[in-house]
Chain A
Amino acid sequence: MSIKLSNIYHTYSKGTPFERLALQDVSVAIAKGEIVAIIGHTGSGKSTLVQHLNGLLKPDKGTATIDDMDITAKGQQAKAARQQVGMVFQYPEHQIFAETVFEDIAFGPRNKGFNEEEVAKAVREAMEFVGLDYDTFAERSPFQLSGGQMRRVAIAGVVAMNPDYLVLDEPSAGLDPRSRNAVFREIMALHKSRGIAIVLVTHSMEEAVKYANRMLVINGGQVLFDGEPAAIFKEHGDELVQVGVDVPQVYKLADLLRHKGMSLPEGIKDEMALVKAIKQAKGWK
């Protein structure tokens, strides 16, 4: 089970003075069950890339397939393939439109042809998944909710369609730290319980190293690095800064401490690991 982009090229505004090559010769396969972070500066081609994963954009050259089915083709089968990929855009709460939370989340499943009983079940499950109590929230207006809650409604709307792959474009932008953690807890739970593959476009290096088991670094419309986040941050720190991204704060702090003579092990991924390593280095209990 995988989405496969093979040698794709994409040019915007082709044949006009604004013509711009956004992707060149990109080949990526994303298997079910993976959590892939995609990083890169604004305009590097990240968003163009993920929009090829469910046929929102067609490549000029190259192919996009899900389990060998060409997703850019016409017909029911290709449509069904595209629907396996749920897409949560930036600021998804701006796309909420219905009068109640239930109606908003039900839109996708209804469109997919679920009957009312299936719709109700899908909505209830999706709400549970994103941590919104059904009895409390189902009949509320989504516009009365907090920013974090609205975002969960929007994510629930995609989850309710029961996708095999979930693409999230900066799901934590504009949220405070607590809501950010809450949104990620739910995304991870979803990954665990349903085995959904997660593709996470992010500007936060912390999120990439904390949640993903694979990371793609995009630069100039090409894949610059593809591998385990910790390994890429460790081996290519300087190059990452050069292409307009960064390394996680905890890497910088650990590097500074090493530079000042403290002997710390490699691969410290979060603050608690760093605290532990400092204590060990200092011989503190």
Chain B
Amino acid sequence: MIKIENLQHYYTDSDGNEVKALDGVDLTIGQGEFVAIIGANGSGKSTLARHLNCLLLPTDGRVEISGLDTREEKNMWDIRQQVGMVFQNPDNQIVAAVVEEDVAFGPENIGVPGPEIAPRVAKALAAVGMTEYAKHAPHRLSGGQKQRVAIAGIMALEPKCIVLDEPTAMLDPQGRKEIVSTVQKLNQEKNITIVYITHYMVEALAADRVVVMEKGHVRFMGTPKEVFSRVDELEALGLEAPLAAKVASELRKSGVKLPSGIITDEELAQALCQ
């Protein structure tokens, strides 16, 4: 689905210095995969995400979406229809005064025939669990609900992939849970490829694969178990392993023998209270 080869992205800052935001990223993501990307501020996560639907183009190297090269201008609309983006701030992504009109904006914009729009909107709202809010005013919804409307707006375009760039950064705990479970559901039930950028390690636990970025590179990647077991390495990168992994690591350091790969509360409880 997504093929990234030796992707480089440089830009010149206002002092005239060349900044290497991405410096040789190789990454392949299969259709239906759920990939979380973590990394410190400035590690290149968002720059990488913006290459997935032509918001940014490579300085060097290439990005292919379903075999389409993002550098070819003629591919752009096709790619944007396949890959939708959700950003941090729910308030900046809403355009209409009624939820269903907001969700209809995308399909209308790409010229979906009129009679097809309403069913698409209904399907998209159902997919994110917002059907009962179809006639509501978006600005009166909670943050989590607004983000789900934003996701529905993308679902109405029938994409293959959704890229979410810190979608929960501005949400309350309830909203964060809503987004993670919505995304998981779309991934599992609709086989939508998910690229999920976050600073909340707990959210990355839901992914099939976790990619750790540092200074424009992929530093390492693997299953959540593999990645979050590397507690000290994550800390050195300015990140944090989930609490259970940290506690397990501290216990091991003081000589307690525990099985490897403990990252969730349940796993730790099982290891400690048999």
Contacts and interface: CB of A to CB of B under 8 A. Distances in A.
Contacts of B14: 141, 143-144
Interface string A220-257: 00000000000000000000000011100110110011
B41 A42 contact: no
B272 A244 contact: no
A253 B247 contact: yes
B6 to A, nearest CB: 25
A285 interface: yes
Contacts of B42: 146-147
B199 A176 contact: yes
B247 A275 contact: yes
A205 B15 CA distance: 40
A146 B238 CA distance: 14
B171 interface: yes
A269 B172 CA distance: 21
B20 to A, nearest CB: 15
A253 B265 contact: yes
Given A176-B238, A177-B239, A146 B41 contact: yes
B202 A261 contact: no
A32 B176 CA distance: 33
Interface string B33-56: 000000111100000000000000
B153 interface: no
B41 A278 contact: no
Interface stretch (B59-67, B118-126, B218-226, B248-256): B248-256
A279 B240 contact: no
Interface residues of A, number: 44
B27 interface: no
B202 A249 contact: yes
A163 B169 CA distance: 28
Nearest to B199: A176
Contacts of B244: 253
A90 interface: yes
A175 interface: yes
Contacts of A42: 142-144, 171-172, 175
A90 B170 contact: yes
Nearest to B202: A249
B90 to A, nearest CB: 9
Contact of A177 (B144, B166, B174, B240): B240
A277 to B, nearest CB: 10
Nearest to B89: A91
B241 to A, nearest CB: 10
Contacts of B173: 41, 203, 205, 244-246
Interface of B: 13-15, 39-42, 88, 140, 142-144, 166, 169-176, 199, 202, 238-240, 242-244, 246-247, 250-251, 254-256, 265-266, 268-269, 272-273
Which 3 A-B pairs rank lowest in CB-CB distance, beginning with the nearest?
A: A178-B238, A260-B273, A246-B173
Interface of A: 18, 20, 40-43, 90, 141, 143-144, 146-148, 170, 173-179, 203, 205, 244-246, 249-250, 252-253, 256-257, 260-262, 271-272, 274-275, 278-279, 282, 284-285
5 contacts: A177-B239, A179-B41, A249-B202, A274-B247, A275-B254
